[in-house]
Structure 1
Amino acid sequence: MPRILSSLLFLAISSAQAQINVITLWPEGVPNARPDPGPEHVDGDRISNVSQPTLTMYPASFDRPAKTAVIICPGGGYGFLSFTREGQQYAQWLSHIGITAFVLKSRLSDYGHPAPLQDVLRAIRTVRAHAAEFGVAPDRIGIMGSSAGGHLAASAATLFDHPDGQTGAPLDAVSARPDFAMLMYPVITMTPTTTHAGSRNALLGATPSAARVQLLSLENQVTANTPPTLLMHSQDDDLVPVDNSILFYQALTRAHVPAEMYLFEHGGHGMGTRPGLGTASNWTKRAEEWLHDRQLIVQ
């Protein structure tokens, strides 16, 4: 395996805590690249018109090192990425508890399926192939996502071997199965009565085939090989119905996959790490307990 410094493009960014690296996911060329895509659009927290997928790495804090990695998929309805609130802030929390975090910048609605799936599986393969250089263990690589990013993370947890996620690149030979998943108020189903319509339309278009709806309704794709999963959702979520998490938890239970779910009365949608949301604001503590119980962090 060639060293990562010779095969991937790194851009150094200074950080108060550690050196942060931006890793180009497709140095050999993005699959099915659009001609003249134009520049990325950045509007505050939101990034859109992504044509060059990347991973932004946040190393584990030096005082609490671990060999665990988490790849984070920000939400945004597959139309934009909430890169700060559901990406960088999660990464900083994970770094603080001793986990090396990678924030994924994936392609969106201007590509549609299967581009986001290809990007997230490429991210897992990249981290696993170069685990030693990142200071992580190849069997301790997890996936995390919020809202539509939760759908992408759950796609990685269920469709890691699907042909749609492969491009014929040599790296396809590396396993893309995450070792665990953490899903925050995720979109799970594409069924019209329960899905988030904006995410469905952005990913699949206005008139998707029945086969596409079935494939991307991830409660249908859970098997015994789906990794252990933690779910967080609020009863008062008025954008992504809490039924999405319940459907996935039920499917995990039927498949005998270890799963834990927290359903909060208050929290709404997009709670991120905000205070003032009652017990929902303590979700990071519940997540840390779950990670510790699975021996993925040291307390």
Structure 2
Amino acid sequence: MISQKKVDDLVQISLITDAYCLGSHWVYDEKQLKENDLDWNDLNSPLAIWHKGKQKGDFTHYGDHTLWLYEFLKNKHTFDEKEYAKYWQEQMSTYTGYIDGSSRNTLENIENNVFPCGSDSSDLSIIGRIAPLLKVSNSKEEFLQNVEKFVKVTHNSKKAIIASRFFAMLLQEVLDGNDIKSSLLKVQNLFDETVQGFVKQGLESKNKDSFISIREFGPACDISEGFSGVIHLLSKYDNLKDMLIENAKAGGDTSARAMICSIIFMANNSINNLPQNWFLINKKEIIAELNN
């Protein structure tokens, strides 16, 4: 469907973005967001207690899970969600990072032989992890099918399935060489009034301050809060660095918003536009592998 090099770039940018967002991820207090020692031009150690043990250059659990999907798909030509669920469960059995509600509930479902095993979570974060699926998708329709199967493994809710399909279709449009704005307008027409409302809100906020807009939409994890924030960022910025910095300054679920934004923005842009110090993540072997 697209070149292997482009897929690797999209996986890489999603991981780099997640590492960049670690510093202010899940920080909600506005005073703390405005008064801290974070260097917005660099990677940072996390402020939030939820990431205890994480260091500058590490991923949040979103990046960790994205890397698992990438590793699982190595040397594969198709995506088997049942096999992936087993692999994911094995990774979780020794995982020392944050275990969120969707993961806890999914593990319970696996233990109880429930399939699809995903929780009923409608967290936005699952969508930013889909880039590795391009490796094993030979058509647009297969990619959409793989995205839905993947999402259901841990986030088996109607909201998550619909939102992930929207952003997967948007990604495809931009990968075809179309600009983001026209792609947004085209794809939204294929969805219901709820999705169109999220898009409308995001587009109408284009000229507003990002901190204010994201806080008004809601900076937390649910799709109902983060969807319009993603649209705001994609419609407002034509520079990925500026987009990611302003998103990070708004706090909350910074990485969920940014990982979606970065893969869509980078679909027809060069990964080399980001500062080189942002590439200095702690899993250097992954960056080296994705660059080969």
TM range (shorter): 0.3 to 0.5
Structure having the higher strand fraction is 1
Q: Higher relative CO (CA 8 A, sep ≥ 6), structure 1 or 2? A: 2
Structure having the higher helix fraction is 2
TM value normalised by structure 2: 0.35
